[in-house]
Amino acid sequence: MNAKAAIALRRNNNLDAIIHLMNESEHNPGTTHFGYREVSVDDKQKLVGQVFTSVARKYDLMNDLMSFGVHRLWKRYFVGTAQVKSGDRVLDLAGGTGDVAALLKERVGDMGQVVLGDINADMLSVGRDRLTDRGLVSGLDYVQCNAQALPFPDASFDLVTIAFGLRNVTDKEAALREMFRVLKIGGQARILEFSEVRARWFKPLYDFHSFQVLPRLGSLFVKDPDSYQYLAESIRKHPAQEELKQMMEAAGFARCGYVNLNCGIVAVHAGYKV
């Protein structure tokens, strides 16, 4: 068993995951994880794309059901504690249906700009339609882009954010390097993502909700239990708090840190370009 598998084994109380990791051999070059499955790097992007195309129209409804609406508070904290001011230019990656972008637009004001980027055309279309329906047009741009290879010049943004998207990126290290590249000196990067639950007593409840409740909600409301099975698995495969902090430092960020929310169900990571 490799080192990453051993770490994941210690983190995970799910029996299927433990069996999978115990049987897992070293990754072959050109392969990565799609949930608990090992797939080719090329296939992962397509598989993730299928997931979000499937759930795009009911993405916000499912977020409310899965988190009992708490995801909205997480996002408000994420944006409310960001280093951003009126007139700033902000990039929101994996911006999806636009709820984070809308909060950021309030912060940058009429003189600022928010670029909502997402690799999935269906999610981007939903986000643009919903923000337009809310009367949010000026100062908002939409770009279909891959976080691993951003189509922006160096030092383009005062703030780069990504909320609940990094775990779906095939090459997370490349995405972090790109976030660093497009930041201006003094700019901040912020990541809101599911992380490692810290309270031991809460883990069995969290696992039950993740592996038993979420797929059933996906089946009932989206007719797609597999996408929400993937969601639960992708959370367990995502780097925990300290590991993600170290990845940010390796990408060049300084003064990196994180704040756990709700027992570490999610964490907000931040780093600066100095």
C-alpha 133, offset from chain centre? 25
Q: What is the pLDDT of residues 179-224, one digit of tens each?
A: 999 999 999 999 999 999 998 899 999 999 888 988 888 888 878 8
Q: What is the pLDDT of residues 5-35, one digit of tens each?
A: 433 433 444 444 433 433 443 345 577 766 6
Q: Can you say whether the dihedral through the CA atoms of 69, 266, 221, 216 is positive or negative? A: negative
Q: pTM higher than 0.85, yes or no?
A: no
Say how many CA atoms lie within 13 Å of 167 toward its Cβ: 25
Question: Is residue 164 pLDDT above 50, yes or no?
Answer: yes
Nearest residue to 136 via CA among 110, 158, 161, 162: 110
Q: How many CB atoms lie within 10 A of CB 205?
A: 11
Q: Please give the pLDDT value at position 66.
A: 82
Q: Where are the domains of the chain?
A: 69-195+238-272
How far apart CA 235 and CA 216 sit, in angstroms, is 17
**E-strand spans in the chain?**
31-34, 37-40, 89-93, 113-118, 140-144, 157-163, 183-194, 254-261, 266-272
Bridge-partner residues for 33, per DSSP?
Answer: 38
DSSP run (H or E) holding 55: helix 41-55
Three-class secondary structure assignment of 239-269:
CCHHHHHHHHHHCCCEEEEEEEEHHHCEEEE
How far apart CA 165 and CA 160 sit, in angstroms, is 13
Does the domain made of 69-195+238-272 have the CATH classification 3.40.50.150?
yes
